[in-house]
Amino acid sequence: MIRKYKPIALAVAIVFVLVTIVSAFTNTKQENIIYTPDQEEPFLNLSQNIARIEDLSILPVPRFLMDYYFKRALQDGLIEAEDAGSTERLESLTEDVINTLTDLVAAGRDFYNRQDFSEALQKYDQAIELVPQLAFLYFERGQEHFALGNTKQALADFDETIRLDQELAVAFLVRGKLHAFLGQPEKALKDLNTVLDKDPSNIDALLERGSICAALNNWNQVVSDSTAVIKQDGNNVQAWGMRAVANQNLGNNKGALEDWSEVERLKGPSLEIFVNRGNILFNEGNIEAAATEWTKAIEIDKNQSFLYVNRGIAHGRLGKLDSAISDFKQAIRLNPKEYSAYNSLGFIYYLQQEYDKALDNYSLALKNYNKDPKVYYNRATTYREIGNYPAALDDLNQSILLDPSYVEAYISRAGTYFSIGDFDVALKDYNQALKLDPDNIIAAYNRSLTYLQKGSYDQAISDLTTLLEKYPELFLCYEQRALAHFQKDQYDLAIKDWKEYLVYDSENAEVNYRIGLSYLKMDNYDNALTYLSRAIELNENLGRAYYQRANLYSLQSKYPEAAEDYTRAIELGIGLDICYFNRGIAYLSENKVEKAVSDLETVLEISDNEVLLTEAKKVLDLIEADFK
């Protein structure tokens, strides 16, 4: 009996063991290389690496909180001045004219101080009509016009003042302030520079120029001007605050924190100090300390919605998701129109995998403001998570429409196209992302995977090789390049790359399995056995490793070992019909006819593989014929 069944078994087994080695990796190519059952998707995961809580932006400090440091009044009271030539001009006047002029100016100043600007203006009109050559009269009347809101007339009077007296620095100062008030920064700076050329230590001019430069984002000049004031007056709170903000914008966080501490020493605790200090600490990565500062700010003013948004983001970064939700909800209660609060709340729900709530809040954010591409991006990420790819594409299209330079949106859209099998369009988006950002690792890596899926192995190898040249530590590239080499039948190169990968991740069962499979393809049974056994040692539930080791044992005529591994593969649900068939052949080779027949009959029951069914019937017929 043994002599009869063994040739039958061998004749069929050789065919099907070899076929199943190939088919196992063919399936791997289509299903398991890019997405393996025992391995996470090898994409640089878009939902975790791009749509991150770190990307939620804290809100800037509202301008009204900084008015104390940057919004400067034209004047606090009437600035009295006399032009350099006034004495000489007065000498040519009669005593009666001088007395009348003196009375008119005194009355005008008195009316101004009593804020009766109309009466004051009448007195200056009379004084100028009486003595039109005195510059200081136009200067003081210009201030009356400004107090009444007559900016055009005020500017005309200041122009006349300067025409009559080029040395009256205060006229340049006030006209510069008026130009700034009228939104004419270049003219304002010209006047202020004239003042500072005449008097480099003029604190009022330095602060005014600093304020204008802040509006122009010329933060280096702001630092220079505020420092010049501090050197003269170490207790000037405005200068310290101005320099703190400038240092903050220049990225000099250490200097900014020191300046805000000085402001606190001079002024005492205040909302803007805690808010700005919190923002600095947050941007430095000191999230816990930032949350503490914002809590202090909330204790001063519980009605500022932006504070709850910022603290909520900090709580989210700290993993305190429930606290984050509470803060965002409070922000919404205070300001139902604050779209960023809905966006941030949606993201926390996304992290909690409460996708319906996430989508609801993103939609509310867009209802309040539909021009932020990041909100569309975040909602698209959630749609991708639940497999609603058409909705994800709609949002990503809108995100890119709003910001055609949004690299992450192109990458996400490419990943979405990949998910629905539209690889050519995915490649176009990855190419666009790399055009915008040639050094983007995620786009380059994921493009290589798309090439792999398309079967464009040379392009995949090229991308992965370039990445490894730039980033040798990106060891995932070795794993994927090895797959491309395998598909090109370059098994030695595949093994080399997978072994390089194991330097970084020595206990990766999947990679050990693939090396074993490559050696099996090269008929190097000893090394194949070593790596397949190592894969099983690392993951006792890796069914395909048992399956391929069983094939190896069959090729070596080690049928008991083969049958045992096929049994384990069957228990793990791997290639059931082929496993039953090959185990049946192994049993037959051991002359275990009943077990062989049982397995082959199972193949007939469960398989839809016509070749396999034909061969199973053929073997059963041979066995039946032998018994007759």
pLDDT digits (tens, 9 = 90+) for 112-166: 899 999 999 999 999 999 999 999 999 999 999 998 999 999 999 999 999 999 9
Count of residues making up the chain: 628
Kindly report, residue by residue over 573-604, the tens digit of the pLDDT: 988 899 999 999 999 999 999 999 999 999 99
Q: State the first-to-last Cα distance of the chain, in angstroms, to the nearest integer.
A: 13
- Look at residue 576 in the predicted model and tell me its pLDDT: 86
Q: What is the share, in percent, of the chain residues with pLDDT greater than 70?
A: 86
Query: Which among 399, 339, 441 is positioned nearest to 46, based on CA atoms?
Result: 441
Cβ-proximal residues to 530 (8 Å cutoff; 6+ apart), any chain? 516
- Look at residue 2 in the predicted model and tell me its pLDDT: 39
One-letter amino acid of 125:
D
The two three-digit tokens of residue 542, written as one number:
């890796």
Residue 57 pLDDT greater than 80, yes or no: no
One-letter amino acid of 60:
P
Burial (CB count within 10 angstroms: exposed 0-12, middle 13-18, buried 19+), residue 539: middle
Query: Is residue 53 very low, low, confident or very high in pLDDT (cuts 50, 70, 90)?
Result: low
Kindly report, residue by residue over 550-560, the tens digit of the pLDDT: 999 999 999 99
Query: Is residue 65 very low, low, confident or very high in pLDDT (cuts 50, 70, 90)?
Result: low
Backbone angles phi and psi of 236, in degrees to 5: -80, 100
Cα 58 to Cα 265: distance, rounded to the nearest angstrom: 27
Phi-psi region of 504 (alpha: psi -120 to 50; beta: other; left: phi over 0): alpha
- Averaged pLDDT for residues 214-235: 96
Query: Is residue 624 very low, low, confident or very high in pLDDT (cuts 50, 70, 90)?
Result: confident
pTM of the shown model = 0.77
CA angle 327-331-335, nearest 5°? 170
Cβ-proximal residues to 166 (8 Å cutoff; 6+ apart), any chain? none
- Averaged pLDDT for residues 435-459: 95
Which of 43-47, 425-429, 471-475, 485-489 shows the lowest per-residue confidence on average (mean pLDDT)?
43-47
CB 421 within 8 A of CB 388: no
Residue 222 or 17, more confident: 222
CB 589 within 8 A of CB 17: no
Query: Which among 340, 399, 331 is positioned nearest to 371, based on CA atoms?
Result: 399
- Look at residue 217 in the predicted model and tell me its pLDDT: 92
Query: Is residue 85 very low, low, confident or very high in pLDDT (cuts 50, 70, 90)?
Result: low
- Averaged pLDDT for residues 6-25: 43
Cα 195 to Cα 172: distance, rounded to the nearest angstrom: 6
CB 343 within 8 A of CB 369: no
- Look at residue 94 in the predicted model and tell me its pLDDT: 83
CB 5 within 8 A of CB 593: yes
Residue 339 pLDDT greater than 70, yes or no: yes
Residue 153 or 86, more confident: 153
CB 445 within 8 A of CB 477: yes
Q: Where are the beta strands (DSSP E) in 239-398?
A: none
Cα 79 to Cα 140: distance, rounded to the nearest angstrom: 7
DSSP state, residue 353 = T
CB 204 within 8 A of CB 228: no
- Averaged pLDDT for residues 420-449: 96
- Look at residue 523 in the predicted model and tell me its pLDDT: 95
CB 497 within 8 A of CB 479: yes
Identify the residue whose tokens are 């510069």: 176
Residue 93 pLDDT greater than 60, yes or no: yes
- Look at residue 91 in the predicted model and tell me its pLDDT: 66
CB 203 within 8 A of CB 180: no
The two three-digit tokens of residue 374, written as one number:
């990041």
Kindly report, residue by residue over 380-418, the tens digit of the pLDDT: 999 999 999 999 999 999 999 999 999 999 999 999 999
Query: Which among 335, 338, 339, 344 is positioned nearest to 315, based on CA atoms?
Result: 344
Query: Which among 136, 125, 137, 131 is positioned nearest to 90, based on CA atoms?
Result: 131
Which domains does the chain show, CATH number per domain? Answer: 1-38+507-628 (1.25.40.10)
Cβ-proximal residues to 499 (8 Å cutoff; 6+ apart), any chain? 515
CB 554 within 8 A of CB 21: no
- Look at residue 402 in the predicted model and tell me its pLDDT: 98
- Look at residue 411 in the predicted model and tell me its pLDDT: 95
CB 273 within 8 A of CB 300: no
List the alpha helices (DSSP H) in 117-236. Answer: 117-130, 135-147, 151-164, 169-181, 185-198, 203-215, 219-232
What are the angstrom distances between the C-alpha of 225 and each of 200, 202, 229, 371? 10, 10, 6, 38
The C-alpha torsion from 182 through 184 and 190 to 194, rounded to 10°, is 10
CB 11 within 8 A of CB 589: no
Cα 181 to Cα 211: distance, rounded to the nearest angstrom: 11
Residue 328 pLDDT greater than 60, yes or no: yes
| SS3 readout for 239-273 | HHHHHHHHHHHCCCHHHHHHHHHHHHHHHCCCHHH
Identify the residue whose tokens are 């240092």: 247
Residue 72 pLDDT greater than 90, yes or no: no
Cβ neighbour number for residue 209 with a 10 Å cutoff:
27
